[in-house]
Every structure is written in structure tokens, then in C-alpha cells.
Amino acid sequence: MKKYITFKNTEIAFSDKGKGRVIVLLHGFLETSAIWTEYQNKLAKQYRVICIDLLGHGDSNCNGYIHTMEQMAEYVKAVLNKLNLRKYIIIGHSMGGYVALAFAEMYPDNVKGLGLFNSTASADSEEKKSERERAIVVVKRNHKKYIKEVIPNLFTKEYVPLLKNEIEDLLEEASSLPKQGIIAGLEGMKIRMDREVIIKFAQYPVLFIAGKKDKTVTFQSLKEQFYLPEKSQVLVLENSGHMSYLEAKQDCLKAIKKFVRSIYKSKVTV
């Protein structure tokens, strides 16, 4: 069941399940916190798991023409403050990873661990910025057509027939997103900062989950980041694309559990 807070006249939706040490899960662009349902259910057997709808996504409102990663991080912090939580592991898929990085820069004392799930600490290249500009034009014209074209292409071809139901669910969720929220997300990702320095000097462990067939955040561009943090854990998925959390669900869940245990040291909830 979703809960809500209002921060700066904007309603933010989230779910809160389990007890004990805290894990925060952030979804990606064109997604909602619903992508984490199975992860939340399994992790909540040992931990307290918070899943948040980012600005303009799911049941959270929009707040302007551009949703910067810093602004989204501020709203995530508002939810966690409302719950009186001070320390947590924060893990984000794709755009959620960008938000998690902004959060880690803005609120380093609150972060126990950082997970980048098919995500990168690098800023957009000029080519990628141009791609986002073109996407914004298409979204303004017909955002539902844009969604139908983009989401299936995030998967590795071999998984498309195997994950037909999951893809249909993603399409349905994304089709309900407001056009303003989609544009604001694209604008925010386009101007985000390079944050490799954040992971290089992180005082907490960093988890990377990467798909070798990821066309959105390519493995080639990402692998150099694996060696930046002193305390890093890496899961490389040979046959996975950008949607590793679905394409290799059990491997990803196992990696997250291992990462969380290494930080909290114990399965015992407190």
C-alpha cells in the first residue's frame, strides 16, 4: 500500500515494508516504484525497504519543466526525513542511480552504501544530450508512441518474448505518466553532473550491476568506474541489457542481498 507526503506543495508517493536496517530503492526513467515489488517483498523479510516514486513518475506529482537529479534527491530525502530515518543503503536503477548519486553528494552522512543498477556516474556525452533533445521533440508530439517504441528496446532481444507480461506491465504503467513528467525527466538527465568523483572517494561500499548487452549504459563506458571505489562489488551479467532487474532477477537479488549483508554484517533485524 502506498503512502504519501507533501513537500514544497508536491505530493510524493512511496511504500514502506519490513523492519530493521534500511534499504532505499529508486526506479528509473519511465518506471515507477512498482518495479521493485518482488525485490521489496523478499528483502523486507530481513530489512526495512522503502520504494519511492520519483517526481513526475508513478503517483508522485510533477514540480516544474525540469526535474533535476538534485531536486529529485531532495524529495527522496524529504520522505526519509518524514520516516525519521538517518542511515540507509540507497540503490537506483538507471535514472534512479543518477538520483542516488546526487543524494550521496548532497547527504553523504546518511549513506551506508550506494548501488548503481544499470546506471553510471558519468554525465551525458554531447551525443547523448542530442538524443535526449530529439526524444523531447517526439514526446511533445506523441508521448505514448514514444513509450511504446522505447521500452521494448531496453531489453535484450532474446528476453522480449520471455518477459512479454512484464513488458506489457511496464508499458501500461508508463502510459499513465504525464507528458510533463517524461519531459522533465529527460531535461534533468540531460543536464546532470559527472559524479565519478563521488564514487572514487566514497566512504561507503558501492555496488555496480551491469549488463554486457546494455545499449543505454554501455558496459564499455561503465567498466572503468568499477575500479574507482576502494570498496566496490560488481555483478556483470553476460546476456543482460538495460533491464537487468527483470532479465536476471535472481542474480540481481542475490547480489543485492550479499551487498547489504556486507554492510550491515548481520541478518538480525534491530
In terms of residue numbers, what domain contains 130?
A: 3-264
- % of the chain with per-residue pLDDT over 70: 98
Residue 129 CA to residue 191 CA, distance in Å, equals 8
pLDDT at 268: 40
Q: For 171, left (φ over 0), alpha (ψ -120 to 50), or beta?
A: alpha
Best CA proximity match to 7, nearest among 93, 80, 105, 57: 80
Residue 158 belongs to domain with CATH number:
3.40.50.1820
83 assigned to some structural domain: yes
33 assigned to some structural domain: yes
Angle between helices 126-153 and 164-175 (to 10 degrees): 120
Strands 10-17 and 48-52: antiparallel
270 assigned to some structural domain: no
The β-bridge partners of 234 are 208
Cell triple for 9: 506543495
Residues 6 or more apart from 270 whose CB is under 8 A from it? 20, 21
pLDDT at 194: 98
Indicate the residue type of 45.
K
Ordered per-residue pLDDT tens for the chain, 270 residues: 899 999 999 999 999 999 999 999 999 999 999 999 999 999 999 999 999 999 999 999 999 999 999 999 999 999 999 999 999 999 999 999 999 999 999 999 999 999 999 999 999 999 999 999 999 999 999 999 999 999 999 999 999 999 999 999 999 999 999 999 999 999 999 999 999 999 999 999 999 999 999 999 999 999 999 988 888 999 999 999 999 999 999 999 999 999 999 999 844 433
pLDDT at 1: 85
Residues 6 or more apart from 93 whose CB is under 8 A from it? 26, 27, 28, 31, 35, 117, 118, 119, 245
- Residue 36 sits at the vertex; the CA angle it makes with 221 and 11, to the nearest 5 degrees, is 100
83 and 15 in contact (C-beta within 8 Å)? no
Best CA proximity match to 91, nearest among 30, 3, 27, 154: 27
Predicted TM-score (pTM) above 0.75: yes
108 and 86 in contact (C-beta within 8 Å)? no
239 assigned to some structural domain: yes
pLDDT at 229: 87
242 assigned to some structural domain: yes
Residue with cell 507526503: 5
Euclidean distance between the first and final Cα of the chain, in Å? 23
Domain count, the chain: 1
The β-bridge partners of 90 are 24, 114
269 assigned to some structural domain: no
Q: What beta strand segments (E) does 8-104 contain? A: 10-17, 22-26, 48-52, 88-93
